[in-house]
Amino acid sequence: MTSRAVWTATWPAHVRGTFLLRGVALVQSGVHRAHCIASDSMLPSSSPSCGLHTPSRRNELQCLLLDAALRTQTPPADLLYLCHITTDVPCGLPRAVLQRQRAALFRVFCAQLSAGRFKDAAYMLRDARLRPSQPKHMLRMLLRRLGQHVSTLSADPGQSAHAALRETLRSFGYDCARRGHLDTQVFLRVLDHLLSRHMHTDMAHWAQSTAIMVPHPDPPFYAALAALVHRMTSTHRAPIQAAAFIEALPPAWRTHAMYHDVLVYDREVYLAGQESMDWRKRLWHDLRTIPHLCLPSAQGVLAQLSAHAHCVHKDRVWSDWLALERQKDASPEMRARAIWLVTRTFVRAGHTRLAVRFAERHASSAPAQGTQLLNTLLTGILENTRKCRSVHDRTCVLRHMYECVWQAARRSQANTMPTLPVLPELVPSAPSRAAQRVLWLLARVERLINTHALCPNVHTLQLLIRAATKWDASMDSQALWDMAALAPPRSPHTHRMRYTLFSELASALQRRADTRSARRARALLRHHRRRVKP
C-alpha cells in the first residue's frame, strides 16, 4: 500500500510479524471480526495504545489483515467476510486509513473476479468507502469478465452471471443516491447484458434506478436505447416487457422509434388480455402528452395504424392511412407495410372487394410486401368461398386459384417446375351467383399477380392445401403433392418453411385416408425436423 498507516506503522517488526501470523490463521479458521482477532492474536502490550476503541484503529487493523490474507492466498469467500461491506458513509477517518481501505477493497474485488465469484464482486460495488469513480471502474471490469464467451465462467451457480447482474442492480440502488455520474456506455452495456440473458424485468429496474446518474445523453445514446427496444420486440417477442422498459426511461429519452416498435408488434394472434390493453393505453397517453412526442411523425402514425389494424377498426385505419400519405418523412418500407395493413384490415372486416381495389391502386408502391398482399387477398377470397354452399362451386373456385398460384410460382422460380397436372374434368354446370362474384375477384387478383409479379410462398401453398383438403374431394393426392412441389428449393434458409409445409401436407393426406402418401409425407417431415433449429 502506498498510503502511510497511522497506528500500525509504529509497531516493531517482530510484533507485526507475530500478529499477522496469528491473525491470518484465525481468518482461515473462520474468525472474521477485527476485535476478536486482536484479542485472540495476543496483541503485545508493548505496542502503544493497543486498544481498539476507535473506528480508525479497527479499520486500520482490518486493512493490515486484508493485506496479509491476500499475500497468503486466503479463499476469496473469507476475504469478503473480512471486508465488512458497509453502505454507511465513513466519517472522521484519517485520509491515510481511508485510502488504504479503498486500495484493499479493490484488491479483494480483483480476487473475487479471478476466482469467478461474480455475485460477491457485484456485492462489493455498494461499499460507501470507495471513491465515487471506483464502482464505475469496477463495474466495467465485471462486465468485461461477464462478456467473455466461456462455457463455464463460474462453477458455483450462486455466482453466475444472472446472480451477478441482479446484485449489481441492488448495489447501484445504494450508489445512485451518493455517486456522481455514470458513463452512457456502461449504462448501455449493463442493459445489453441483461437483454442477452432475457432479464427483461431487471432492465426496467436498472433504467429506473440509475437514469439520474447519466449526465448528458446524446442522439447516439437514444438510438442505442431504441435498438434495445427493437430487439426485445422483434427477437425476444416481449412487447409488454419492452413497454415497461420504455415507461422506466425518463420521458426526455423516449423516441418515436421505441413506441413504433412496440405498438406495431403483431402476430397472427393478437395479444389480448387486460395487461396488454393497459400498456397500450399508457403508450398512447405518452404519445399525446409528452411534448417532443406529440409532433406528428411517420413512425407514430404507422404505429397508430398498426394498432387500429389489430383491432380491425377500418374507419380509423383509413384515417391513419390518409395521415401517413401526408407525412413527408415516410420511407417506402413504411408505406409498403401500411398498404399491407390496410388491405388486411379490409379483408378481416369482410370487405374483400374493397381490399382488392385498394391493392390494385397501391401494389406498385409495395413490392416488398407483395407476397403478404397475395396471401391476404387469397385468404379473403377463401372466406368468401365459404358462402358457396355447392361443392361444385367451391371446387371450381379452388381450381382457378390453384392454376393462378401455379403460374405465379412458375414465373418466380428459375428452376425447372413440374408440369401442371391434369385434374379431373368437372361436370358442366353454371356457377351460382356467389361463385361468380368470387371468380370475378379471383380474376382481378390474377391480373394483379401478372401486373406486379406477386410471388407465392409456403403460406400460400398451405392455404391451398388446407382448402383443397376441406372442400375439394375430387382433387387427388398427386395434386396435393404437386402443390408441395411449388415450395422453395432446399437451402439452410428454407428448412423451417418446408417443415411447416410438409406438416400441413401430412395432416391433409391423413384426413383423406391416403395412408401411403401420409407415410411418405411424415418421412419427409422427420427428415426436415432434424435440420430445423429449435
Judge whether residue 210 has pLDDT over 80: yes
pLDDT, one tens digit per residue, over 303-353 is: 888 878 887 889 989 999 998 998 888 889 999 999 999 999 999 999 999
Judge whether residue 301 has pLDDT over 80: yes
Judge whether residue 242 has pLDDT over 50: yes
pTM of the model: 0.65
The mean pLDDT of 15-38, rounded to a whole number, is 64
Judge whether residue 472 has pLDDT over 80: no
Judge whether residue 38 has pLDDT over 60: no
Contact by Cβ (8 Å): 169, 205: yes
Which has the minimum average pLDDT: 40-44, 58-62, 144-148, 504-508? 40-44
Report the candidate in 331, 327, 255, 263 with the shortest Cα–Cα distance to residue 297.
327
Distance between start and end Cα atoms, the chain: 54
Judge whether residue 510 has pLDDT over 70: yes
Quickly state the pLDDT bin for 165 (edges 50, 70, 90). Answer: very high
Task: State the average pLDDT for the chain.
Answer: 78
Which has the minimum average pLDDT: 157-166, 344-353, 382-391? 382-391
Please report the pLDDT score of residue 119 as a whole number.
92
The mean pLDDT of 254-282, rounded to a whole number, is 71
Please report the pLDDT score of residue 534 as a whole number.
44
Cell 455520474, located at residue? 181
The mean pLDDT of 373-397, rounded to a whole number, is 82
**Cα separations in angstroms, 33 against 86, 91, 126, 187:** 14, 20, 20, 36
Quickly state the pLDDT bin for 28 (edges 50, 70, 90). Answer: low
Quickly state the pLDDT bin for 178 (edges 50, 70, 90). Answer: low
Cell 399525446, located at residue? 288
Please report the pLDDT score of residue 198 as a whole number.
92
Please report the pLDDT score of residue 361 as a whole number.
92
Please report the pLDDT score of residue 33 as a whole number.
59
Judge whether residue 491 has pLDDT over 80: no
Separation CA 329–CA 345 (nearest Å): 24
Quickly state the pLDDT bin for 153 (edges 50, 70, 90). Answer: low
Quickly state the pLDDT bin for 483 (edges 50, 70, 90). Answer: low
Quickly state the pLDDT bin for 263 (edges 50, 70, 90). Answer: confident
Please report the pLDDT score of residue 4 as a whole number.
44
H-state helical runs in 160-199: 161-175, 184-196
Quickly state the pLDDT bin for 265 (edges 50, 70, 90). Answer: confident
The highest-confidence range among 151-160, 238-247, 513-522, by mean pLDDT, is 238-247
DSSP codes joined into one string, 231-282: HHHHTS--HHHHHHHHHHS-GGG--HHHHHHHHT---SS---SHHHHHHHHH
Triad 296, 299, 304: Cα angle to 5°: 80
Which has the minimum average pLDDT: 91-105, 199-213, 258-272, 510-524? 258-272
The mean pLDDT of 91-98, rounded to a whole number, is 79
Contact by Cβ (8 Å): 467, 461: no
The mean pLDDT of 415-437, rounded to a whole number, is 57
Phi and psi at residue 273, to the nearest 5°: 105, 160
Quickly state the pLDDT bin for 128 (edges 50, 70, 90). Answer: confident
Please report the pLDDT score of residue 231 as a whole number.
94
Separation CA 40–CA 42 (nearest Å): 5
Contact by Cβ (8 Å): 101, 55: no
Judge whether residue 150 has pLDDT over 50: no
Higher pLDDT, 232 or 5: 232
Please report the pLDDT score of residue 32 as a whole number.
58
Judge whether residue 20 has pLDDT over 90: no
> What is the rounded radius of gyration, in angstroms, for the C-alpha atoms of the chain?
35
Contact by Cβ (8 Å): 41, 65: no
Please report the pLDDT score of residue 304 as a whole number.
82
H/E segment holding residue 322: helix 314-325
Which has the minimum average pLDDT: 235-244, 339-348, 505-514? 505-514
Please report the pLDDT score of residue 449 as a whole number.
85
Phi and psi at residue 356, to the nearest 5°: -65, -40
Quickly state the pLDDT bin for 121 (edges 50, 70, 90). Answer: very high
Please tell me whether residue 42 adopts helix, strand or coil conformation: coil
Judge whether residue 3 has pLDDT over 50: no
Give me the half-sphere count of Cα atoms (radius 13 Å) on the Cβ side of residue 151: 0
